[in-house]
Structure 1
Amino acid sequence: MISSPPSLLARALFAALLSGSAFAAHAQSITVDGKLDEPEWAQARVFKDFKVTQPYSLATPDPALATEARMISTPQGIAVGFTVAHPANVPRVKPRLERDQGRPSDRVNFMIDFDADGRTAYNFTVGLSGSIQDVVVTNENYFNSDWDTDWSWAVTETETGWYVEMLIPWSVAPMRGSDTPTRTVAVYFDRVMGGNGERYATPAASYERPRFVSDFEKVEIPQYRKALFHVWPYVTVLHDLIDGSTDYKVGADLFWKPSPTFQLSATINPDFGQVEADELVVNFDAVETFYTDKRPFFTENQGFFDLRTPDNGQLIYTRRIGANADDGSGAADIDAAVKLNGSVGELGYGLLAAAEHDDAGRDFYAARLLYPVTPKLSLGWLGTDTERPFRDRTAQVQAFDLRWRPSDTLTVNAQILASFIDQAGLSKDGTGGWFRINYAPSQSWTYEAEATHFDRRLDFNDLGFLRRASLNELELTANYTRRATSDTSRIRSSGFSVETQHRSNDTGDRLPTWLLLNGELELRSGGNIEIGHNLISAGWNDLISRGHGLWRVSGRSNSFAEFNSARHGQWQFSVYGELAPQGLENGDAKVLYLTTNWYPSDTLNAQLELGRQKASDWLIWEGGTDFGRYHKDLREMSLNLGWFPSSKHEFRVKTQWLAIGADRGERYLLQPDGRMSNGALALPAFEINSFGVQLRYRYLLGPQSDIYLVYSRGGYLEENRELRSTGDLFDEALGLRDSDQILAKIRYRF
């Protein structure tokens, strides 16, 4: 029998009796002003035992850079305060950044796992400038910054340090077991030095190790039931500067949370206009390009559905919803979508449904269950169904997952998959599964073993993202970290990893075996160096011909090196170089990328990236068993500017240019025995030229309420022609105009 929720007074009395009164309930609200001057903070739980976790030395930080965190549970949410010592002789790095923009800065992080089961954590970051990040952490150490939620923060700065206050509402995440007066949560606090990249954390957990969220500190706090209801109507106006047309769109998003055990979000006629621009990509590979999703409805409480597979697979890939319609007419409009998250006792559940417009639209459904059998063992299920009437196709996927932590050093994850496809009366059923063990016997050594089997008929691409089916793989990895013992050493820590990948397809054809050797140096200045060399055996490539035969690939190798500098005054630099085979032989493609970040002031920053790839042996699929072998020259440039004159105003300019030239082409034919034979036919040279620019102004009206003005222009050109110079290509790119539009959008929360 479930009793009725206790009153606030009863909860307060219960919390006051807790040992040490570390988490006494407070009826008064915390004013989030960055001052920590309310008397309630004196009764908060204090966290002082910070250790250096980046580099992973576990040393005690310099007392002059002491950090103290406080946490208190209130009816409004969980309040967190940081007191950060920062002497005047230590440079302060405080650029004002876009939300979730990861750049070097002085900042603090608070992470919380509301169910304390190691499944999902939520990361709240506040920089000294007041810039923020909010991130969902799943699979122990996978960070997804697409999630933006409603929370409060404030920063104050003095000559000797700075202070941060946060208030995390009870509504930010679904929680199990919310009918009790207290709950056990797992928490983590850290402070990052923007000048040298050092990280001080308590508990001494590191996201660079296979166990991260599971190592958070468990604490018991009072919990409160707080109902919440919000509606976000929106209006967008899109004017096309090419054809002169203007489109108007009106819709609304809704969020309702009557209790911690249930929350519903819905969207009607949602607008997914391009206020966020995707990166330009020209993909000749057999595997599609993966894009992240910043659309608010699909990022809110999506972590519960975030079930991943080896080889970078994802069972729910929300970019499928609203993607190109099945009739090829362009992006599909979405009529409505709804998402439920909640729990019944210890059983967590989630439901997702979305419907696209018109006869070529699709209907998507997903359901998720998660049950903690014991504190160390949990079982889950995910089912999806995609209805595609235009293609006379239905696709269902079933997945069962297990997570077991028998000890503090050992974690086991496993998953069983099945797909059921019916198209035009023909059925195709597939199965798969994988098993992973992470073992961390010491602070220096970690090991991972992973076995995967996907049969050739497995297919979860209708709603998910599957790089390839027909895969048998065994991966073995060992990582070693060595901490510097001398305070005068230029190297703070070093490490290396060895990984081997043994692969074959479902019919027994052996794919190339990989041996990956990587080394990394963390410099005391704050920079880092990473180098790697990969040995690749001969084997079969069964994807490149798109089902028209196997290619016998010769043995080869590739190498890379990357250097990221610390920030020096207004500047920070990165260099990446690679030698990688891309053709028939082990001829190396030469890759070089240079990145410069400039911070002329705390309110203005710029990033320039230049890239070049040159290859004398580039093999691409032309169709069937036909291939082209070319000399390749790729040029890439991007320039991003951000100006933040105040906390409510943001101006952004984002440009990208990508051009590929290919000449000296020869036709090659894939033979039945897997050889590539010269077709004795010259192929014409071709060039691809693409360019995109976006100018965006954003005004923050209030929590999760914005006004956007966006100008976007872009173009793409592919022609058979003689190759042009870099200057001529760039001049041509500036004139490309496949799209040219202005978007105005207002979204306001009631």
Structure 2
Amino acid sequence: MNNRSALRRTQLALALMSLAGSAHAAIAVDGKLDEPEWAQARRYTDFKTTQPWRLTAPEAGLGTQARLLSTPEGIAVAFVLEQAPGVQRIKPRLERDQVRNADRVIFNIDFDGDGRTAYAFTVSLSGSVQDGVLTNENQFSTDWDTDWSSAVSESEAGWQVEMLIPWSVAPMRGADTANRNVAVYFGRVVGSTGERQAFPAVAQDRGGRFVSDFDALEIPQYRSALLHVWPYATALHDFIDDRTRYKAGVDVFWKPSPNFQLSGTINPDFGQIEADDLVINFDAVETFFSDKRPFFTENQGIFDLRTPDSGRLIHTRRIGAGNDINAALKLNGGLGTLGYGLLAASEDGDDGRDFYAARLQLPLGEALNIGWLGTDTERAAIDRRAQVQAVDLRWKPSNTLIVSAQALASAIGQQGVDTRDSGGWVRTFWTPTDRWSFEVEATHFGAQLNFNDLGYQRRPSLNELEVTADFNQRIAAEQSRLRNIRWVAEVQARSNDSGDRLPTWLLLTNLYNFRSGNQLTLFAAPRSAGWDDRISRGNGLYRVSGRYDAEAEFTSARYGDWTFAAGLGLAPVGLSATPSRTLSLSASWYPSETFNAEFELAPEWSDDWLIWHEGRDFGRYARRLDYAGVNLGWFPAAKHELRLKSQWLAIRARDGRAYRLQPAGDMQATGAALPNFDINELGLQLRYRYLLGPQSDLFLAYSRGGAGEHEREGGIGTDELLEEALRLRDSDQFLAKVRYRF
């Protein structure tokens, strides 16, 4: 009797540990689930197909099981994956965060369980990894890299993955309790078809909800302290002026508890190891570039506050854009349920700027979250100070409804002149069924609203109402070549803050998912006549005629060693509704697991191209644009990566005629001819990376490129233009950079 009682007590203890998802013994991350602790793990088996959006069980031979344990070392996650012998295994070696077609698994976790920020961890069958941050429900960024471990093992029946996510990877509120309420998502992508399975059955591309729909659970939590120091040094040799420059600095990351962490950097080198894509921009809207600098990507999610038109109230590429940075400091943490973040950075030089930002987030019950952001940018050289305030909220009254809103204001003072204005937006997202979703969004930006000093703002002076309907049609017939069709319709009605009616848009999208894994996207966007109030940069309104955009894009599944994509786009860019024609072709080649290549071509032709020169003066041209890109990746051995990234972009403009914008809003030809011109840009980077250890790297990079602009009486051929680009040499340098974590 006593023995039976003891046995029952032991069984009960094991059952309680399983329900809690906890384990106290260390997990050896080797891709083999042979530790007895995995038997105690919480298990997830109810995976559904979410891409395409079918919500059916996975096909036979492609079953997926996920497991989760809370351990003192961190969150341990495992996947057990069936992969029948007839299903091709796609496992190219990839750089960290490189996006390619591959068999992979995904684990997302919202450590606070409130739907604000989640952290994503992806492991492919080859062992390559990706990590990133999900903010604003479904906005994903891979700029963030952190320290976590993973391993993969493979057998004839399938493969297994183990991950260990340390408690130190993210700031957490309420870290003093024994248990923590989190929310999780598990996903699997079958590389041969692109099909995605998930638990819970939610998808990132289904409108405005994703993180809020993760599966909630309570797990034991453990405290951990962390101190990392990264000294680093660079040597840059410029072959043009035959000069070598040296620089050294240090990053510090200190996390004494889960609810407080500090990041600091002194005399940083923010040389861009990741080369930006080439862009020639004649528009009135600034091109956005993301930030890959480690200090600014580490736990930046709390500062990621966006506007509906893809604006950002904090855009860290502003910091250090013109001057070196002397020092920067960042704090993240929590006080009870209140989350906070502080950011400060100071640039060098008399014309350097000082940047400050503060952020608060507070949940009020399970349904409501409110937040506040304040920024201050000071530029003493021109006596300018720019302050921005924003209050935001998210309300989730039910599982089918979510409401987001933001109110913001700016105050700019420069040389005794003060400019103030405000704005705001509200968005409602409703999913009444698993096939239908609806979104209604209203935006107002005042004419003088300005958050560009530290943020990224596409435009002020905007009143906009958007209504979107999204329907997913599942094809049940087994004999059909289609699996799913997605229909999206969106209406955008807009005016500026002066009441001038801007063009009204109707955006129509069809997405066809085939059983083979191929995808076809059709897009059409007719728009009404209306005023363009940005093209003249504040020198008058231009009356635009009604016109349309259209695009068709085909993306293939994996065929042998290749994947392909092709697209055709039509878009008016001139005075008439005659569209430009863009043909885009790309192919990815995987001749082995250690080598991959990507090739891109995208020529564009336009008989009518209108560009602003100055004031009310414009030019109207015929245009040819050429783009070509070649990217190569080779992984000769573990910890070694070699990459070539090369891009060529050129524009040729001919038959130019001068136009002047009239007070009534029409364009009138002046009769003057304008010279032909061409713009030529080339960028090339050959980069070697050696992984010294966790978050420690040695980089050797050779970069060359340049830009040229010419006025020519005669034309120039594509071959000649490319040969000329290969001789461009505005930049020609070799960089050695080492960063090591202690």
TM-score range, shorter chain: over 0.9
2-structure distance, mates of 1:87, 1:560: 37
The TM-score normalised by the length of structure 2 is 0.97
Q: After the TM superposition, which residues 324-723 of structure 1 pair with which residues of structure 2 at under 5 Å, given as runs?
A: 324=322, 332-721=323-712, 722-723=714-715
SS in 1 for 2:20: coil
For the 8 Å contact 1:492–1:523, the answer to whether it is kept is: yes
1:17: Cα distance to partner?
8.9
1:744: Cα distance to partner?
0.3
SS in 1 for 2:105: strand
2-structure distance, mates of 1:418, 1:84: 50
Residues 1:263 and 2:261 aligned together: yes
Query: For residues 616-655 of structure 1, what are the alpha-carbon distances to aligned partners after superposition, in whole Å with 9 as ceiling and x for unaligned?
Result: 1000000000000000000010000000122300000000
Which amino acid is the alignment partner of residue 262 of structure 1? Answer: F
1:274: Cα distance to partner?
2.7
SS in 1 for 2:635: strand
For the 8 Å contact 2:226–2:255, the answer to whether it is kept is: yes
Structure 2 partner of 1:55: 52
2-structure distance, mates of 1:738, 1:665: 28
1:483: Cα distance to partner?
0.8
1:144 paired residue among 138, 141, 144: 141
2-structure distance, mates of 1:388, 1:16: 63
1-structure distance, mates of 2:355, 2:715: 45
Structure 1 partner of 2:6: none
Structure 1 partner of 2:305: 307
Structure 1 partner of 2:7: none
The TM-score normalised by the length of structure 1 is 0.96
SS in 1 for 2:39: helix
For the 8 Å contact 2:251–2:266, the answer to whether it is kept is: yes
Structure 1 partner of 2:728: 736
Structure 1 partner of 2:3: none
Structure 2 partner of 1:32: 29
For the 8 Å contact 1:16–1:24, the answer to whether it is kept is: no
Identity %: 61
1:24: Cα distance to partner?
5.4
2-structure distance, mates of 1:246, 1:387: 33
Residues 1:100 and 2:100 aligned together: no
Query: For residues 136-170 of structure 1, what are the alpha-carbon distances to aligned partners after superposition, in whole Å with 9 as ceiling and x for unaligned?
Result: 01111111111111100011111111110100000
Relative to 1, partners in 2 of residues 1:654 and 1:32: Cα closer, same or farther, differing over 3 Å?
Answer: same
1:699: Cα distance to partner?
0.2
1:189 paired residue among 181, 186, 191: 186
Query: For residues 72-114 of structure 1, what are the alpha-carbon distances to aligned partners after superposition, in whole Å with 9 as ceiling and x for unaligned?
Result: 0111100001111112221000011111111110000001000
Q: After the TM superposition, which residues 65-84 of structure 1 pair with which residues of structure 2 at under 5 Å, given as runs?
A: 65-84=62-81
Which amino acid is the alignment partner of residue 190 of structure 1? Answer: G
1:484: Cα distance to partner?
1.1
Which amino acid is the alignment partner of residue 711 of structure 1? Answer: Y
SS in 2 for 1:314: coil
SS in 2 for 1:168: strand
For the 8 Å contact 2:338–2:362, the answer to whether it is kept is: yes
SS in 2 for 1:235: strand
Query: For residues 503-553 of structure 1, what are the alpha-carbon distances to aligned partners after superposition, in whole Å with 9 as ceiling and x for unaligned?
Result: 000000000110111111011111111011111111100000001100011
Structure 1 unaligned blocks of 5 or more: 1-12, 325-331
For the 8 Å contact 1:151–1:166, the answer to whether it is kept is: yes
Query: For residues 418-444 of structure 1, what are the alpha-carbon distances to aligned partners after superposition, in whole Å with 9 as ceiling and x for unaligned?
Result: 000001110000100000000000011
Structure 1 partner of 2:739: 747
Single out whichever of 267-276 and 126-135 deviates more from structure 2. Answer: 267-276
1:33: Cα distance to partner?
0.7
2-structure distance, mates of 1:438, 1:168: 32
For the 8 Å contact 1:688–1:716, the answer to whether it is kept is: yes
Query: For residues 1-54 of structure 1, what are the alpha-carbon distances to aligned partners after superposition, in whole Å with 9 as ceiling and x for unaligned?
Result: xxxxxxxxxxxx9x9698463235433211111111111111111111111111
1:487: Cα distance to partner?
2.3
For the 8 Å contact 1:694–1:710, the answer to whether it is kept is: yes
2-structure distance, mates of 1:190, 1:310: 28
2-structure distance, mates of 1:622, 1:64: 62
For the 8 Å contact 2:14–2:40, the answer to whether it is kept is: no
Residues 1:45 and 2:49 aligned together: no
Structure 2 partner of 1:296: 294
1-structure distance, mates of 2:18, 2:641: 43
1:248 paired residue among 239, 246, 249: 246
Residues 1:88 and 2:85 aligned together: yes
Give the number of equivalent residue pairs: 730
For the 8 Å contact 1:45–1:70, the answer to whether it is kept is: yes
Which amino acid is the alignment partner of residue 553 of structure 1? Answer: V
1:161 paired residue among 158, 162, 168: 158
Structure 2 partner of 1:178: 175
SS in 1 for 2:81: strand
For the 8 Å contact 2:272–2:293, the answer to whether it is kept is: no
For the 8 Å contact 2:359–2:371, the answer to whether it is kept is: yes
Query: For residues 692-715 of structure 1, what are the alpha-carbon distances to aligned partners after superposition, in whole Å with 9 as ceiling and x for unaligned?
Result: 100000000110000000000011
2:111 paired residue among 110, 114, 119: 114
Structure 2 unaligned blocks of 5 or more: 1-9
RMSD over aligned CA atoms reads 1.2
1-structure distance, mates of 2:50, 2:22: 32
2-structure distance, mates of 1:723, 1:400: 55
Query: For residues 225-270 of structure 1, what are the alpha-carbon distances to aligned partners after superposition, in whole Å with 9 as ceiling and x for unaligned?
Result: 0000000000100000111110000001110000001001111111
SS in 2 for 1:297: helix
For the 8 Å contact 2:662–2:668, the answer to whether it is kept is: yes
2-structure distance, mates of 1:612, 1:219: 51
Structure 2 partner of 1:238: 236
